[in-house]
Structure 1
């Protein structure tokens, strides 16, 4: 069953109390690999509307109106949950409304159609969505890759015989989704090393299952994101080959926050509330990495020693180089027509008070 077959039904359920159940079912199908192309969630109606350009602003809520934004309730290291725990939404009229678990590959498609209001996934997914007519915009930079806080790590079994890039030809590599950092950062690096990537079998494995899938021999290399990558670092049978910092110096490691265009137009002050809360939480994590790990450990029920930390872009101010990096990669991969999307089309810092203050 393709996602395009499910979208009309999902939209109908959005108008009824069963919307949350619909999202859970579509997330389950995505996790099982039953959905079609990543961006098929955009309906023809959405694409037609997007093709006409930005819609006129909707009626904006009055100051003081209470507004909830729909957001996935996923077991991961995420600033929305931390901002909520730390009380950064207090004193605002904005609150998250958690709608249940949503499979990673569906977060940007569902943000693009408004089934969820905000989503955090990698830049190439957002670029591809915008190029396909989805109505969304990056409003806050997310995490960044550092040498001691990489976005993702690459593991093999100690007895695999895999020691370098060329050894991966003919092997199976587990990634958390297609169209994102794990696929494109890896392929770019491997091609630079002279590897024929067509000889590698890429399969989708959720991050929290990737270590076990590798250990049991169902994959030959696992690319695992924080916080779950820390558990693989402690696995007796596994060894780490690289991190994404080793591959590109961290340029491909930004995972921003995007908002559905309609929500942005209807609730600009609430978008500002969200971005402000996320930026405060990001700065808190950078200043208190161990305390942040403890909060995440409790949230995802993972032993503290196994929880890898995240580092975040200061004040979550978006810059163009990480976006241009993926535009160039997508064009090189033949996934994006040259010149179709410019970096400035993807993001805005308009709702980030820290960015505005820095320009003052």
Structure 2
């Protein structure tokens, strides 16, 4: 116990030094501390905020290096924690779980969220008999990964509608790649499909499905996920870290204040230029990033509900992590 506490104190001390270094670094648009390339994973058919920031010129001489695609936030942040990539993003509950397990990472900026326009809905076929939470017993709910945003929201919906833990255990979260989720629903391989963003709107435009509930219905507007980097990266490359975070912050605000058709047009050009044979048709349904706070700044409140969820599930111990110890805003130089 004593050695664990000592390790925790040392980690906190190191993070304090990291925050100070990042706060003192200037975001003049360069990797003056030696890191001029940032390895990352993308999402097929989508433009991430870092990709948008780079295209807008917000990273200066720091360049992104694409190493492949992912369909899972937990996998993405795990890859960042192990040094396979330099930053990764996931649902805040997955970030809490990773840090609680001892991963030496820190959340640095919010990158996606939920609002009236951008949300994840839980959809059934138009003629489905499913009308309530209790109707989900024994049913398959298709989502991109387990232990993340979609499963947490599903559990919250079931709990709020009076299902017991044993009953919730009878509902079957099922992993389905996002690009295949609509098809799996229509072919009745699953009974419920979790659809968000452009994939949701594309499916709704096709017709034949209806919503059961959404994360916006349950929680309103909130930032839901953050990018993480390792403590080592923050310590060794504070200028690059600040350039990256501030660039993403600027991209968030650019997307917030720019007409949607212009955001869509630029995103389409980005996908076409990178030449990966991706379909850009779904981009026309883009509406917003969903990030609630200005410039993606992080607050304790963004982590607390998911920390409580993980405790209730037995994934972490009560008091094992404190929200304020999970993140830093010191690298975010937007407006400052």
Q: Sort the TM-score into its range (normalised by shorter chain).
A: 0.7 to 0.9
Aligned match of 1:134 in 87, 98, 103?
A: 103
Question: Cα distance, 1:354 vs. partner?
Answer: 3.0
Unaligned 5+ segments in structure 2 are 19-24, 272-277
Whether contact under 8 Å (2:96, 2:307) holds in the other structure is yes
The residue number in structure 2 matching 1:98 is: 66
Secondary structure at the aligned position of 2:103 is classed as coil
Once the 2 structures are TM-superposed, how far is the Cα of residue 52 of structure 1 from its aligned partner? 8.4
Structure 2 counterpart of 1:67: 36
Q: What does residue 275 of structure 2 align with?
A: none
d(CA) in 2 for partners of 1:188, 1:245? 12
- Cα distance change on mapping 1:310 and 1:63 into 2, 3 Å: closer
Aligned to 1:220, which of 188, 191, 213? 191
Distance 1:297 1:236, change over 3 A: farther
SS at match of 1:148: coil
- Alpha-carbon shift at residue 301 of structure 1 (Å): 2.1
- Once the 2 structures are TM-superposed, how far is the Cα of residue 257 of structure 1 from its aligned partner? 1.1
User: Separation in 1 of the partners of 2:209 and 2:203?
Assistant: 7
**CA displacement, residues 172-211 of structure 1 (integer Å, 9 cap, x when unaligned):** 1011111111011210121110232111111111211111
Q: Determine if the alignment matches structure 1 residue 310 to structure 2 residue 289.
A: yes
Residue equivalent to 1:119: 88
**Which residue of the partner structure matches residue 201 of structure 1?**
172
**Residue in 1 aligned with 2:206?**
235
Find 1:110's aligned residue among 58, 68, 79: 79
Give the RMSD, CA atoms, in angstroms. 2.7
**Distance in 2 (alpha carbons) for counterparts of 1:201 and 1:309:** 30
Distance 2:221 2:175 in 1: 23
Counterpart-to-counterpart distance in 1, 2:251 and 2:10: 33
In the alignment, structure 1 residue 147 sits paired with structure 2 residue 133:
no
Task: Kindly indicate whether the alpha-carbon contact (under 8 Å) linking 1:157 and 1:238 is maintained by their aligned counterparts in 2.
Answer: yes
Which residue is 1:276 aligned to?
246
Structure 1 residues 308 and 68: alpha-carbon distance in aligned structure 2, compared to 1, 3 A threshold:
same
Tell me how far 1:103 sits from its aligned partner. 3.8
Matched residues in 1 for 2:126 and 2:315: separation? 35
Indicate whether 1:294 and 2:265 are aligned.
yes
CA pair 157-172 structure 1, distance change in 2 beyond 3 A: same
What does residue 320 of structure 1 align with? 300
Which residue number corresponds to residue 22 of structure 2? none
Structure 1, gaps ≥5 residues long = 1-46
**2:125/2:208 contact within 8 Å kept:** yes
User: 1:290 Cα deviation (Å)?
Assistant: 2.9
Which residue in 2 is equivalent to 1:26?
A: none
1:285/1:311 contact within 8 Å kept: no
Deviations 1:80-120 (CA, angstroms, capped at 9, x unpaired) = 11111212113xx4221111123414101111111111011
User: Deviation per CA, 1:294-318, whole angstroms, max 9, x where unpaired?
Assistant: 3345535232444454232311111
Q: Whose relative contact order is higher, 1 or 2, with alpha carbons under 8 Å and at least 6 apart?
A: 2
Q: Aligned partners of 1:188 and 1:83: how far apart in 2? A: 34
- Deviation of residue 293 (structure 1)? 2.8
Q: 1:80 to 1:62 in 2, by over 3 A?
A: closer
Residues 214, 221 of structure 1: 8 Å contact kept: yes
Work out the number of aligned pairs and report it.
Answer: 305
Distance 2:106 2:89 in 1: 11
**Inter-partner Cα distance in structure 2 for 1:302 and 1:141:** 25
Distance 1:311 1:280 in 2: 15
Tell me if 1:187 matches 2:155: yes
Higher mean alpha-carbon deviation, 327-336 vs 303-312, is at 303-312
